[in-house]
């Protein structure tokens, strides 16, 4: 039995005819034994033909969205080490051997390719995207208690046990956020490697929509906080409800002690309702926190079913 790990690259593509051949060739030049899978996501150009001519194994995913592609690829592709890289030729493929070495030497389960600012220019990484990325990094790092410097990077190297334990529920560009939070959730050993980042080839057009994708990612982060940190989420919600109840209720209580009357009965009822809903939110948070611990134990056991990278 060979001790050489099987390395597979997953390249999601939608209308990347101008760049996908360069990505495939650069990956094969960086790691000669790599198997490159280009997943064509209903492209209207010659992406599939160009990728196949460059030496990639081309597969098709009809459900539109990067998350759908990654979910399909992670389910179908069998390998020891997985590489995820975009097909737009903006990431430095030459950094891949270093990322793989770091994964194996750790050993780690997740290597995040952090885009270096010195090589960022033009439309590849617009100021709005960079500002949003930094904001999301800060939010996720503080909520989940793990530092991350480029959570929206599409360049990652992962072990088999990380990939096969990843549920992949997202449909579009939120998949990077879900990958980052999954690594934090199962406490997978991970680190970051700086990689170069360049502008798209001339004539190639970015699929990112700053505000649309930003709001989708923000909504996903909110869902993940509710899902992965229920005690925090419902604790904050409960505290807000109780504070609102106190704002309505304190004047009513003061007036009752001064006059012995409750002339604003609807306000008093509203204050009590906010207080009860706040207490209910705390109770829900406690219950879901217990469910979360059981779910994380199951996820961790599923993660440990697979051998670490060697």
The single-letter DSSP state of residue 194 is: E
Place 24 in a pLDDT band, splitting at 50, 70 and 90: very high
Q: Is residue 23 a contact partner of residue 200, using CB atoms and an 8 Å limit?
A: no
* pLDDT for the residue numbered 261: 76
Average pLDDT value for residue range 99-122:
82
Give the burial string for 11-40 (b: 16+ CB within 10 Å, else e): bbbbbbbbbbbbbbbbbbebbeebbbbbbb
Helices (H) and strands (E) in the chain, counts: 10, 7
Domain boundaries, the chain: 7-226, 230-304
The highest-confidence range among 94-98, 195-199, 229-233, by mean pLDDT, is 94-98
The highest-confidence range among 223-232, 243-252, 296-305, by mean pLDDT, is 243-252
Name beta bridge partners: 228: none
Which residues, other chains included, contact 72 with Cβ-Cβ below 8 Å and sequence gap of 6+? 39, 59, 61, 63
Distances (CA, A) of 191 to 7, 69, 201: 19, 25, 29
Place 128 in a pLDDT band, splitting at 50, 70 and 90: low
pTM, full prediction: 0.77
Dump pLDDT digits (tens) for 41-66. Answer: 999 999 999 999 999 999 999 999 89
Other beta carbons within 10 Å of 206? 15
Question: What's the whole-number average pLDDT of the chain?
Answer: 85
Residue among 308, 292, 35 nearest 162 (CA):
308
E strand or H helix at 40, and its extent?
Answer: strand 35-40
Place 120 in a pLDDT band, splitting at 50, 70 and 90: very low
pLDDT > 80? residue 205: no
- The three-class DSSP label of residue 99 is helix
pLDDT > 80? residue 127: no
Which residues, other chains included, contact 256 with Cβ-Cβ below 8 Å and sequence gap of 6+? 262
pLDDT > 80? residue 279: yes
The highest-confidence range among 95-109, 120-134, 238-252, by mean pLDDT, is 95-109
Q: Find the length of the chain.
A: 310
- Cα separation, 174 vs 214, whole angstroms: 9
The CATH code of the domain at 7-226 is 3.90.550.10
- Cα separation, 182 vs 307, whole angstroms: 18
């Amino acid at each position: 039995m060979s001790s050489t790990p099987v390395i597979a690259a997953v390249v999601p593509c939608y209308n990347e005819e101008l760049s996908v051949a360069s990505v495939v060739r650069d990956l094969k030049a960086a790691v000669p034994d790599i198997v490159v899978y280009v997943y064509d996501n209903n492209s209207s150009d010659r992406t599939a033909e160009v990728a196949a001519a460059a030496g990639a194994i081309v597969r098709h995913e009809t459900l539109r969205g990067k998350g759908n592609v990654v979910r399909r690829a992670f389910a179908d592709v069998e390998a020891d080490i997985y590489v995820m890289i975009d097909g737009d030729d903006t990431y430095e493929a030459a950094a891949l051997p270093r990322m793989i070495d770091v994964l194996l030497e750790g050993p780690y389960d997740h290597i995040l390719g952090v885009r270096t600012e010195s090589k960022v220019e033009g439309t590849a990484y617009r100021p709005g995207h960079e500002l949003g990325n930094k904001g999301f990094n800060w939010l996720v790092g503080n909520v989940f208690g793990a530092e991350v410097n480029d959570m929206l990077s599409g360049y990652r190297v992962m072990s088999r046990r990380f990939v096969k334990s990843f549920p992949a529920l997202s449909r579009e560009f939120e998949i990077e956020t879900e990958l980052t939070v999954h690594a934090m959730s199962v406490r997978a050993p991970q680190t970051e490697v700086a990689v170069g980042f360049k502008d798209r080839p001339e004539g190639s057009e970015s699929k990112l929509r700053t505000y649309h994708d930003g709001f989708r990612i923000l909504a996903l982060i909110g869902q993940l906080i509710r899902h992965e940190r229920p005690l925090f989420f419902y604790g904050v919600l409960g505290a807000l409800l109780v504070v609102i109840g106190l704002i309505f209720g304190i004047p009513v209580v003061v007036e009752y002690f001064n006059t012995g009357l409750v002339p604003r009965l609807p306000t008093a009822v509203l204050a009590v309702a906010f207080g009860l809903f706040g207490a209910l939110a705390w109770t829900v948070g406690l219950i879901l926190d217990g469910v979360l611990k059981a779910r994380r134990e199951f996820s961790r056991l599923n993660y440990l079913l697979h051998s670490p990278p060697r």
